[in-house]
Amino acid sequence: MARVFVITGPSGVGKGTLIKHLLERVPELELSVSATTRGPRPGEEHGVHYHFLDPAEFDRRVANGAFVEHAEYSGRHYGTLREELDRRTAAGHPVVLEIEVQGARQVRTAMPEAVQIFIVPPSTDTLRQRLVGRGTDDEQQVASRLEVAVSELAAQDEFAYKVVNAELDAAVDELVDIVRREMVLA
């Protein structure tokens, strides 16, 4: 069975950037494309960054058991489609899930063999700066994401691995080491 890696941590911690570099360094890894009810940001494409679903379609898929995990985050729904995961692992590809903490907990219960990695920000202030700086969320969304971030940070000790994203290259190296080590153990 191919390895499943869960990468979690608060919004704004840099999960997306770290994963982009991780995928370049470990080309056999594949990223599962999540479903969400939030709208696309500029530059985001349906089926590439997310499967953008309306709330009724999301609910229908929940009822059909289409999700491995799903959670509400800042008023929107997000979830990992079983099909996304199964197709990749069946083809022998190790898979990365980039998800928030409630989803990571559900995966821990459903798939205890998945490798769970929590990305830690150097400080809460850095998070705020990144959330404001990327300019993708309005003031209310930033406030809501920061509030969730504080409770997510409190959960970091639940995770087998923690990587502090203070310096990008060092954090990527650490992530690559974890993934390579766990792939050998699979």
The footprint of ligand 5GP (CB under 6 A) covers: 11, 15, 34, 38, 69, 71, 73, 78-80, 98-100, 102-103
Q: Find the shortest distance in angstroms from Cβ 185 to ligand 5GP.
A: 25
Q: Find the shortest distance in angstroms from Cβ 90 to ligand 5GP.
A: 19
H helices present in the chain, as ranges: 15-25, 55-63, 82-90, 101-110, 124-133, 139-153, 168-185
**Between 107 and 179, whose beta carbon lies closer to ligand 5GP?**
107
For 52: left if phi > 0, alpha if psi spans -120 to 50, otherwise beta; the answer is beta
CA 91 to CA 134: how far, in whole Å? 35
Q: Find the shortest distance in angstroms from Cβ 63 to ligand 5GP.
A: 17
**Between 38 and 93, whose beta carbon lies closer to ligand 5GP?**
38
**Between 72 and 181, whose beta carbon lies closer to ligand 5GP?**
72
**Between 63 and 185, whose beta carbon lies closer to ligand 5GP?**
63
> 153: helix, coil or strand?
helix
The set of residues, in sequence order, having a beta carbon less than 8 Å from that of 163 and lying 6+ positions away, is: 18, 117, 118, 119, 120, 171, 174, 175, 178
Q: Find the shortest distance in angstroms from Cβ 43 to ligand 5GP.
A: 12
